[in-house]
Amino acid sequence: MAQAAEAGIDRWLLDELASIASRAAAAILSIGPHEVSRREKSDGSPVTAADEAAEAVILRGLERLMPAVPVISEEASARGVKTVSGARFVLVDPLDGTREFLAGLDEYTVNIAVIENGRPAAGVIAAPKLGTVWAGIVGEGAERLILTPGSEAAAASERTTIHTRKRPPRDAIALISRSHREAETEAYLDRLAPLQRVICGSSLKFCRIAEGAADLYVRMASLSEWDVAAGNALLVAAGGAVCDVGGRPLAYGHANLRLPPFIASGEPAAAC
């Protein structure tokens, strides 16, 4: 199994990653927002036992699946465990949207991304409350699985190939962060043609664009690599693009694990 994983990224490996994300989703749901207390990390962002439970599930699964591949995970990084080495590594956000989770909303996710030579190669995003997993391999395509949290990918009740859509000339949809609003982002969107602005939490924004339900996500502020990597891979696999404001595809593996402002679009020409 490990040998197959190290040989390349294929559908088998993607299903294994989706299954790991599904088990992490179940770990989050087993705790629930009303059973945990919020703590503050050094950067002021919240963390809970649900974040840590999901991370433990993911790290165990990746150690079995890809034992020779370095893993960078948000909560481990907050504890000082930061190592980027080699041509391949994995970026993990075990619970993206902790504020939404604590508020009892559905808009939080589990994110796992495989990085190859500084670029996202594969990404998996699970939405625990929605019973849905999105997964994609760059150059191979993307899909949406209806999957009960905790179940293996093979048990999905529905698997649908997903694609981005051509941006409509009117009423294009721009997704706006629920928890983070910046004046620079609003100003950038103001300069575009009239848009519908829809609030959406976590990496679900990438999923909605990848499946053709929205068109644009702009973030004019720096984010951590694990916040974006899985969505970046998924969106590119579905036919979209994620680029910095200069039109260059995002690169990963920075020493500080931070990304520049970016534009995520269902149409590559509109971002890069």
Residue 194 and residue 141 share a domain: no
Q: Mapping DSSP to helix (H, G, I), strand (E, B) and coil, where does residue 95 land? A: strand
- Check if the beta carbon of residue 224 is closer than 8 Å to that of residue 259: yes
Domain count, the chain: 2
**Cα of 34 vs its chain's centroid, Å:** 24
Residue 114 and residue 218 share a domain: no
Residue 224 and residue 132 share a domain: no
Which tens digits make up the pLDDT trace of 29-85?
999 787 777 776 666 678 899 999 999 999 999 999 999 999 999 877 655 555 566
Task: Please tell me the distance from the alpha carbon of residue 58 to that of residue 43, in angstroms, as a whole number.
Answer: 23
Which tens digits make up the pLDDT trace of 110-142?
999 999 999 999 999 999 999 999 999 999 999
Paired with 175 in beta bridges are 198, 217
Residue type for 165, please?
R
Which structural domain, as residue segments, surrounds residue 57? 2-162
Residue 140 and residue 84 share a domain: yes
Residue 222 and residue 106 share a domain: no
Residue 237 and residue 114 share a domain: no
User: Is the whole model's pTM more than 0.85, yes or no?
Assistant: yes
Which tens digits make up the pLDDT trace of 164-211?
999 998 889 999 988 777 888 999 999 887 899 999 999 999 999 999
In a domain, 147, yes or no: yes
Residue 264 and residue 190 share a domain: yes
Residue 194 and residue 125 share a domain: no
In a domain, 224, yes or no: yes
Task: Please tell me the distance from the alpha carbon of residue 50 to that of residue 177, in angstroms, as a whole number.
Answer: 22
Give the position of tokens 């490996």. Answer: 13
In a domain, 41, yes or no: yes
Nearest CA to 43 out of 229, 259, 223, 255 is that of 223
Residue that finishes a domain, picked among 115, 140, 162: 162
- Which CATH number do you get for residue 144? 3.30.540.10
Q: What is the mean pLDDT of residues 4-15?
A: 75
Q: Mapping DSSP to helix (H, G, I), strand (E, B) and coil, where does residue 136 land? A: strand
- Check if the beta carbon of residue 24 is closer than 8 Å to that of residue 57: yes
Paired with 133 in beta bridges are 126, 145
Residue 244 and residue 213 share a domain: yes
Q: What is the pLDDT of residue 80?
A: 53
Residue 199 and residue 153 share a domain: no
In a domain, 241, yes or no: yes
- Helix (H) / strand (E) element for 138: namely none
- Which CATH number do you get for residue 187? 3.40.190.80
Q: What is the pLDDT of residue 1?
A: 33
Residue 118 and residue 47 share a domain: yes
Residue that finishes a domain, picked among 162, 182, 208: 162
Rounded (to 5) percent helix, strand, coil in the chain: 35, 30, 35
Residue 191 and residue 154 share a domain: no
Q: Taking the CA of residue 71 as centre, how many other CA atoms within 13 Å lie in the half-sphere pointing to its CB?
A: 22
Residue 116: how many CB atoms within 10 A of its CB?
A: 17
